[in-house]
Structure 1
C-alpha cells in the first residue's frame, strides 16, 4: 500500500506494559494500519484506512496444539527467567542484567530475551487484530470535538472566577481576624501587667500600713506590757484595741501582725519576680527595701522577746512569718546568738583551774553532758514548737544550724586540741563522746526523715570532717604494727616472761606480741567501727607478717646462710627446742584466731549484713590456715636437724672398712658402738622438758615418723655406698691376686671356706642394722614399715635372711 507515507499514531496496551509503546508502525507488506493527511474528511476528521494485520503465524512462532505433549508450551521459560520482573515499577535493566549474569552467561541470556520480545510482539499483534473494528470506527465518532470543548470550558471558567473571588474574601477576613486576635492578646498582656502593677502597689501600701501599726522604735517595746498601745501612733489603735479588749497580750499581737506582714511580703516577692525590669517596680524598689528592713528588724526583736519570755504563741507566729518570707536562716541565727551561744560559751570557756586532776583540758565528755542538760532546760521548748505535727515549720533545723553550729565554733575556739589525732587515746574518747552527743540531738527529731535531713546539713558534715579518722588509723597502725615489727626484727628468739600468764601460755615474745597486736586492733579504746574494714585488714597483715617471718627464717636455715637479711638470723642459731616452742605458739595462735578471736570480731560486727559476716569469717579463717600450714615446715626443720646430727654418727661407718680390709679378723658377732648414738639426739629431744610441756601427741608422732624416715634414708645411702665400694675393691684385688698366681704358676683356685673382707663388712653392717631397728622399736617406730629400712636390710643382709626382717 504505497499511499501510506508515514505513521505517527501511538498505541498503548495494558497487557504489555513491560514493552516500550509503539510510537511508530512502519508500513510494510503485512498491511499495518496507516493514516495520512490526504485522507481527512470534509469536516477535518481523521479518515482511517487500514488493512487487517495478517494473522498467519510468524515463522519464528510455529503454531502448536494445546494437546501437544511432546513440545514445550509457547510461554515456557527457564526457572531463572521471571517475565513478571519487567512489570515492576522500579524495574532497572542494568540491575536486572548484572543480577542474572552472576549465574547465566550472556550467550544464554540474549536468546531468551529475544524470544520473550518476539512473544510480546506476537501478543501485541493479536490484541490489535482483536479490536481492529473498534479502532477504525473511533475516528467516525469524534465529530465536533472542539466545539464541545469550548461549551464545557465556559462554565468551568466562570466557576473558577467565583472561587478565586471567594478565596480572596476569606483571606481578607482571616487577616482581619488574626489582627484582631493579636490586638486582643496584646491588650490582655497589657492588662495583666497593669493588674500586676496595681496588685504590687496595693501590697506595698498594705505592708506599709501594717508596719505603721508596729512601734516605730523597737526599744519602745515593753515585754508583755498591755499598755503599749499608748506608745503607738494614732493610726495603729484599731487592731491594738481589739486585741487588748480580747485579752491578748501585746507580744502575741505583734507576732500576729508580723505574720500578716510576712505573708504580704511573700506575695510581694511573687509579684516582683513576674514584673522585673519594669520602671514602675524599679521606682518602688526603695519603698520595698525599707519595708523589708523594717520587717526583719521588727520580726527579730519580737522573736528574741518571745524567746526571752518563752512565749509559745509569739514564737510560733514568728516562725511562721520567717517561713513565709523564706528567711529560716535568720531565725536559726537569732536563736543561736541569743540563746545557744551564751549557754555553750559558759560551759566551754569555764575556768581551766577547775579541771579535775588527771583529765585533759581538751576532753569533751563532761562538756557534752552539761550541754545536754542545758539543751533540755533552755532549748527543748523551741524544738518542740518547730517539730510540731502539721505546723509547717519543718523547714527549720535548729539542731544543726543553731545548736551544733555553736558547739562546733566553741570547740574550735576553746578546745582546738580535741580534734587533734596526735593523741589517739584522747582523740578516740572525744570522737565517741561526739557521736553520743549527735545521737542525743537526733533524739529530738520527730521522724526518720528528720534524722536524715539533720545528717545531711552542711554543719553536720563539717562537724564530722573535723575528726580525721585517716590520720588516727595511721597512728594506730604505726603503733600496733611497729610493735610487732620491732619484736620480729630481733636476731634471736626471745622467751616471754611468765608464759602461763601472758597470752595463754605462749613461750616466745614474738608470738605474744602478735597476739597482743591482734587483740589491740579490736579493743574498745582503739577500734572505730566506721574504720572496721581497715582494722580487719591490719589484723590480716599482722598474721601475714608473722607467717612470712617464719617462712623466710626457715628458708634461710635450709640454705644455711642468712645472707644480708638480719631478720633471718634467729633461724640459723635456733636449736630444735626453740622450734618446739614455735610449733606450740603457732598451734595456739591458729586455734585462738579461728576461735575466740573470730567470735570477738563477729560480735563487734553483729550489725553488718550476712554477706559481710561471711566475708570476714572466711578471711580470718584463711589467716588461721596460713598459720597451720607452717607447722609441717617447722616439723621438717626439726627433722632435718635430727638427721644432720645422726649423719655425724653415721660417718663412723667408714671405720668398718679399715677394720676388716686386708686383716685376718674373724666375722663380727656384735654391733658397732656408733649405732647407739644415731638416735640418741632424737630420743633426748623427745624426752626433754620442752617436748613434754609444749608438744602434743600428734606433733610428736609426726616428728618421730619424719625423723626416723629421714635418718634411715641417710643410713641407707651411706651403707649402700660403703658396700658398693667394698665389693668393687674386693673384685679388683681378686683379679690382681689371680693374675699374680698365674704368673707364678700356682693354682688359681680359692678355697670355699675362706670368708672375704666384703662379707665381713656386710656382716658388721647387718649387725648394726639389726641394732638400729631395735632402737627404732624402743622409740615406738616399726622399722619394717619404713621403705628405706627394708632397702637397707636387703643391702647388707645375708642371702638366706634378705626376705625376713628380724631384729
Structure 2
C-alpha cells in the first residue's frame, strides 16, 4: 500500500497575514476547557447562553469540530506508517490474556481469604467490646448501688447522733437549781453551751442534707431497681427524721435569731431542695403571730376587727415588725455569694401572711364598693409592696418577687376594673344629669363673677370641667387605669360637644320634640348663647393649658411616645370644642336676623301707602328702619356681651349679623320693587287700552311721578338711614356686598356709582 502524498497546508491569503487567522475563535470561546477533567457541557452552555446566542455557539462548535477533524487527519498522515503497523504488532493477544488471568485469580482468592479472616477478627473484637461495655455498665450500677447503700448507712448513722442533741426546740440548759448556785461569772455558760450545741446540730444537719442530696441523685439514676425499691422505706424514714430535726433546729434559730444556726439550716434546706418548708416554718413561727396581733382574724376577734377596713396604719405596724423581727433572716438569705437566693421569704412568708390576715380580718378592704377607701387601701398596698421590694438585692430579685404566685394573687384582690366602673358612673353621671336639664343653668355665683371673664358661667360647663378634673384628682386617679381615665376625659369632652351640636341643630330645624334633651336650645334667648361662647373659650384654654400640664405630670413615668399621644389626643379634644364657636355664633345671628325680618316685613306697607293714596314724593325714612338693628345693638351693648365677649368675637358677630340682615333686606326690597314694576306695567296697559277705547290720543303721557318711583325713593331714604345705623354700630355699609347690591337696586340712576348718606 502506497503512502499517501502529504498535502500541504492551504496558502494564507493577504488578509490572513495582516489580521486574525481564518480559523481563530472569539475570546469567549476557550477550547482548552474541553480538556479539563471536570468539564461539564451543561454548565458550560448555561454560562455562555447569557451573552452568546445559540446559533453563534453552534457555529463556533462546528468550526472547532471541523478543525479537530483536520488536525486528526494531519496527525494520521504524518505518522501513517506507525498507524498501519499498529495492527500487525497485536498478535497472540488471547494467549497473553490467559497467561495473565491465572495469577489474577490466585491473587483474588488470597484477598478473599484475608478478608474473611479479617471479618472474623472484627466480629470477635466487637463482641468483646460489647461484653466489656455491658460489664462496665453493670459495674457502674453496682458501684451506684454500693454508693447508695453507703450513703443511706451514713445518713442513718448521722441521724442516730441527733437524739443526743435537743430535738424539741428547747435550749440545752442545766437545771434551775444548779443555775442558781452558779456564780455570776458562769451564769451564761450553759446558754452558750446550748447555743454551741445548736450550731453543732445545724452543721450536722447540713451535712446530712448534703448526703441526702447525693442520695436523691443516686436514686434518680437507679430507678426501678429491686435493690433501691427495698431501701425506699429506710430512705423515707431518714428523710422524715431529717425534716423533723431540721425543722426544730430552724425554729430554735428563728426564736433566738442565731445567724449561724439559721445559715446552716437554710443551706440544708437548699441542699435537699425543700425551700417551701423553710418558708412555711418562718411564716408560722414569726410572721403569723405578728399578723395576728396587728390584724386580728380569729373568731374571738371578729368584733374587734369590724371597726374599720383601713390598711394604712396596719401597713405601718407591719413595716416596723418586718424591720424588727424579719430583717435578720432577709439579710441572711440575700447575702452575696451565700447560695440562698432560692428562698423567697418576702413573698411566700411575709406577703402570704399579710394577704391571709387581710382576707380573714378585713375582707372589706378589697371591696371597690367604697371607692375612696378602696383607693386609699390600694395605694397603701402598693407602697407596702415597694417597701418589700426594697429588701431585694438586685433587679432580678425584684422581677422574681413580682413573678411569685402569691404576689400575683395579692394583686388580683384589687379589682381596679370595678373601681373604674363605679368612678365612671359617678363622674359621667354627674355630667349627664347636668346636660339633660331643660334649660341653661347659670352657676349660682354668676352674679358675683360678672367681672371675672375667666370664670365659667353655666352649670353644664362647670360640671364638665369638674368631671374632667375629677378623673385626675389624687383621691380618684389610679395609674393602672390611666388609659381608661384618659378615654373618659375625652368622652366627657365629646359628650359636651354633642350636647351643643345636637341642641343647636334642633334649634335650627325647630324640631326639638324629635330629640329629647335639646329643649334648652329652643328656649334659650340669643344672649344666653354668649355664656356658651365664653365657656367654650374658657374650656378650650383650660384643656390645652393647665389641665394638659397636670395630666402629663401625672403620667410622667410613661415613655415619651405615650406622652406625645396623650398630648395630641387632649389637644384634639380642645380643638373639637373650639370648632363649635362658629356654629354658636351662627345661632345668635340667626335669632337676630329673625327678629330683624319681623321689622323688615313692614316694607309691604310702603306699596299700600303709595298705591292707595296720592302722597307726594317721600322726604324722610320710614319708622321701621330704626327697629331693624335694634336687637343687634341691644345684644352687643348688653352687660353679658360687654363682660364675656372678646373684641374678636364681638366683631365677628356684628359683621355676620349685619351681612345677613342686609342680605335679607336686599331680598325683600328687590322683591317689592319687582312686584311694583310689574303692577305698574299692567296698570299702564289697562290705562292705554281705556284711552284708545275713549278715542283719546295714545301719545298723551302723564308727566307725574309714578308710584314705583315713589316706592324706590322711599326705599332709598330707608337704606340711607339703615347705612347710618350700621355706621353707628361700627360697620361700614359700603364694605358689605349685600348693601352695595341693595343700593344699586333702589338708588336713582344719578346716585348709582357713589354710596353716600
Same fold, TM-score > 0.5, yes or no? yes
The answer as to whether partners of 1:491 and 1:566 remain within 8 angstroms in 2 is no
Query: How far does residue 104 in structure 1 lie from its aligned partner after superposition?
Result: 12
* Residue 328 of structure 2 is aligned to residue 328 of structure 1: no
* Residue 470 of structure 2 is aligned to residue 517 of structure 1: no
Q: 746, 753, 765: which one pairs with 2:715?
A: 765
- Distance in 2 separating the partners of 1:613 and 1:341: 44
Q: Describe the shift of the 1:744–1:608 C-alpha distance in structure 2 as closer, same or farther (beyond 3 A).
A: same
Q: Describe the shift of the 1:148–1:376 C-alpha distance in structure 2 as closer, same or farther (beyond 3 A).
A: same
Query: How far does residue 491 in structure 1 lie from its aligned partner after superposition?
Result: 2.0
Aligned equivalent of 1:205:
153
The answer as to whether partners of 2:368 and 2:419 remain within 8 angstroms in 1 is yes
Q: Describe the shift of the 1:500–1:444 C-alpha distance in structure 2 as closer, same or farther (beyond 3 A).
A: farther
Q: 186, 206, 210: which one pairs with 1:263?
A: 210
Secondary structure at the residue paired with 1:657?
helix
Cα shift readout 1:500-519 (whole Å, capped 9, x = no counterpart):
78996322111111011011
Cα shift readout 1:425-445 (whole Å, capped 9, x = no counterpart):
111111111111111111222
- Distance in 1 separating the partners of 2:478 and 2:487: 14
* Residue 504 of structure 2 is aligned to residue 557 of structure 1: no
The answer as to whether partners of 1:500 and 1:506 remain within 8 angstroms in 2 is no
- Distance in 2 separating the partners of 1:217 and 1:122: 113
Query: How far does residue 220 in structure 1 lie from its aligned partner after superposition?
Result: 5.5
Q: 226, 233, 236: which one pairs with 1:286?
A: 233
* Residue 111 of structure 2 is aligned to residue 181 of structure 1: no
Aligned equivalent of 1:619:
569
- Distance in 2 separating the partners of 1:220 and 1:787: 108
- Distance in 2 separating the partners of 1:262 and 1:501: 83
Q: Give 1:545-624 correspondences, 5 Å limit.
A: 545-624=495-574
Secondary structure at the residue paired with 2:335?
coil
Q: 90, 94, 100: which one pairs with 1:142?
A: 90
Query: How far does residue 643 in structure 1 lie from its aligned partner after superposition?
Result: 0.4
Q: Describe the shift of the 1:250–1:675 C-alpha distance in structure 2 as closer, same or farther (beyond 3 A).
A: same
- Distance in 2 separating the partners of 1:115 and 1:424: 100
Aligned equivalent of 2:180:
none
Structure 2 residue runs without a partner (length 5+): 17-21, 176-189
Q: Give 1:457-496 correspondences, 5 Å limit.
A: 457-496=404-443
Secondary structure at the residue paired with 2:474?
coil
- Distance in 2 separating the partners of 1:496 and 1:292: 79
Q: 327, 332, 343: which one pairs with 1:385?
A: 332
- Distance in 2 separating the partners of 1:440 and 1:116: 92
Q: Describe the shift of the 1:733–1:245 C-alpha distance in structure 2 as closer, same or farther (beyond 3 A).
A: closer
The answer as to whether partners of 1:364 and 1:433 remain within 8 angstroms in 2 is yes
The answer as to whether partners of 1:683 and 1:779 remain within 8 angstroms in 2 is yes
- Distance in 2 separating the partners of 1:575 and 1:117: 110
Alignment RMSD: 3.7
Secondary structure at the residue paired with 2:518?
helix
- More off after superposition, 334-343 vs 738-747: 738-747
Cα shift readout 1:521-548 (whole Å, capped 9, x = no counterpart):
0111100012111101100110011001
* Residue 648 of structure 2 is aligned to residue 698 of structure 1: yes
- Distance in 2 separating the partners of 1:176 and 1:725: 134
Q: Describe the shift of the 1:368–1:485 C-alpha distance in structure 2 as closer, same or farther (beyond 3 A).
A: same
Aligned equivalent of 2:186:
none
Q: Describe the shift of the 1:391–1:128 C-alpha distance in structure 2 as closer, same or farther (beyond 3 A).
A: closer
Query: How far does residue 337 in structure 1 lie from its aligned partner after superposition?
Result: 1.1
* Residue 288 of structure 2 is aligned to residue 341 of structure 1: yes
Aligned equivalent of 1:193:
141
Query: How far does residue 613 in structure 1 lie from its aligned partner after superposition?
Result: 1.9
Aligned equivalent of 2:677:
727
- Distance in 2 separating the partners of 1:443 and 1:501: 53
- Distance in 2 separating the partners of 1:685 and 1:274: 99
Query: How far does residue 147 in structure 1 lie from its aligned partner after superposition?
Result: 3.7
- Distance in 1 separating the partners of 2:191 and 2:437: 90
Q: 163, 169, 172: which one pairs with 1:215?
A: 163
Query: How far does residue 196 in structure 1 lie from its aligned partner after superposition?
Result: 1.1
| Larger gyration radius, structure 1 or structure 2 | 1
Secondary structure at the residue paired with 1:567?
coil
Under a length normalisation based on structure 1, what TM-score does the superposition of the two structures give?
0.82
The answer as to whether partners of 1:302 and 1:318 remain within 8 angstroms in 2 is yes
Q: Give 1:103-142 correspondences, 5 Å limit.
A: 133-142=81-90
- Distance in 1 separating the partners of 2:613 and 2:416: 86
The answer as to whether partners of 1:224 and 1:249 remain within 8 angstroms in 2 is no
Q: Describe the shift of the 1:69–1:558 C-alpha distance in structure 2 as closer, same or farther (beyond 3 A).
A: same
The answer as to whether partners of 2:165 and 2:201 remain within 8 angstroms in 1 is no
Cα shift readout 1:617-667 (whole Å, capped 9, x = no counterpart):
111111111111111111110001000000000000001011112532110
The answer as to whether partners of 2:368 and 2:415 remain within 8 angstroms in 1 is yes
- Distance in 2 separating the partners of 1:455 and 1:752: 108
Q: Describe the shift of the 1:153–1:353 C-alpha distance in structure 2 as closer, same or farther (beyond 3 A).
A: closer
The answer as to whether partners of 1:225 and 1:250 remain within 8 angstroms in 2 is no
- Distance in 2 separating the partners of 1:413 and 1:756: 104
Cα shift readout 1:656-684 (whole Å, capped 9, x = no counterpart):
01111253211000000000110111111
Q: 686, 705, 710: which one pairs with 2:660?
A: 710
Cα shift readout 1:780-801 (whole Å, capped 9, x = no counterpart):
1111111111111111111111
The answer as to whether partners of 1:646 and 1:681 remain within 8 angstroms in 2 is yes
Q: 675, 682, 697: which one pairs with 1:747?
A: 697
Q: Describe the shift of the 1:386–1:64 C-alpha distance in structure 2 as closer, same or farther (beyond 3 A).
A: closer
Query: How far does residue 283 in structure 1 lie from its aligned partner after superposition?
Result: 1.2
Q: 466, 482, 506: which one pairs with 2:456?
A: 506
Aligned equivalent of 1:301:
248
* Residue 591 of structure 2 is aligned to residue 644 of structure 1: no
Cα shift readout 1:139-185 (whole Å, capped 9, x = no counterpart):
43223334433443444344333333333333333223222222222
- Distance in 1 separating the partners of 2:526 and 2:756: 33
- More off after superposition, 335-344 vs 661-670: 661-670
The answer as to whether partners of 1:521 and 1:535 remain within 8 angstroms in 2 is yes
- Distance in 1 separating the partners of 2:697 and 2:115: 157
Q: Describe the shift of the 1:398–1:480 C-alpha distance in structure 2 as closer, same or farther (beyond 3 A).
A: same
- Distance in 2 separating the partners of 1:434 and 1:176: 76
Secondary structure at the residue paired with 2:162?
coil
Aligned equivalent of 2:751:
801
Cα shift readout 1:578-620 (whole Å, capped 9, x = no counterpart):
1111111111111111111111111111222222222211111
